[in-house]
Amino acid sequence: MTVKLICLDADDTLWHNMRHFNATEEALVAMLRPFADADVTRERLVECETRNLALYGYGAKGFTLSMVETAVELAGDHLPTSLVADILAAGRTLLAHPVELFDDVQATLEALSDVGRLVLVTKGDLLHQESKLAASGLGDLFGGIEIVSDKTADTFTRIFARYGVAPQEAVMAGDSLRSDIHPALSAGAWAAYIPQEGAWSHEMAAVPDDHPRFTLLERLADLPGWLESLP
């Protein structure tokens, strides 16, 4: 069956993202070095992020709050207000980082638009995601924008229904096994996994190697060729 709807993740699929989060995390590690070893700071930050996802959701703002909370937990009453200010400044820098597209993204999206309707499916802070899309210059290539709080099978089922396609007529491409691949497959769609270095541990999951609707691609530019090969 022909694919009519091509859903694409944004962060670390169209443009670099985790490199900026990882750099900010390393800045926090350096700030808290008087209070904790690097491994302790990283472990505590992951615990805070995971615990806070249900409250803050995904994105740089929630990450910044988790950094502050990590600092409070590790430094206690010895935490200087100047350090809190430095953490908040690091969070603002993270929110303002430039949008750096992966190679050949524009040309790939243009080729994909000849195959089916493109829909951006991304999670995170609404304002931040909208601003990154605007800065990317890619917005006009998409027939729909879906910024969601999380990606689940139900999320994709609703998206497919909204755009009037059967699940088997849709594909999801992204860098997260947890958020892009498994939910799309569970919803009945095709899925293309495009891994990137420095991925967040929260987004890890088992690779569904033997799934008939799954593929592993080296880069987004390989997606049009794979779609052409589908039965």
Q: What pLDDT does 204 receive?
A: 80
Domains along the chain with CATH numbers: 5-15+100-229 (3.40.50.1000), 18-95 (1.10.150.240)
78-94 pLDDT, tens digit each:
999 999 999 999 999 99
Give the residue carrying structure tokens 């992966």.
102
> What's the N-to-C CA distance of the chain in angstroms?
6
**How many CA atoms lie less than 13 Å away from 29 in the CB half-sphere?**
14
Per-residue model confidence (pLDDT) at position 131: 95
Ranges of the chain whose pLDDT falls below 70? 1
Pull the structure tokens for residue 215.
Answer: 């593929």
Beta bridge partners of 216: 193
pTM reported for the whole predicted model = 0.91
Judge whether 31 and 86 are in contact, CB under 8 Å: yes
Inter-residue contact 177 to 207 (CB < 8 Å): yes
Between CA 189 and CA 157 the distance in angstroms is: 9
How crowded is residue 160: how many other Cβ atoms within 10 Å of its Cβ? 24
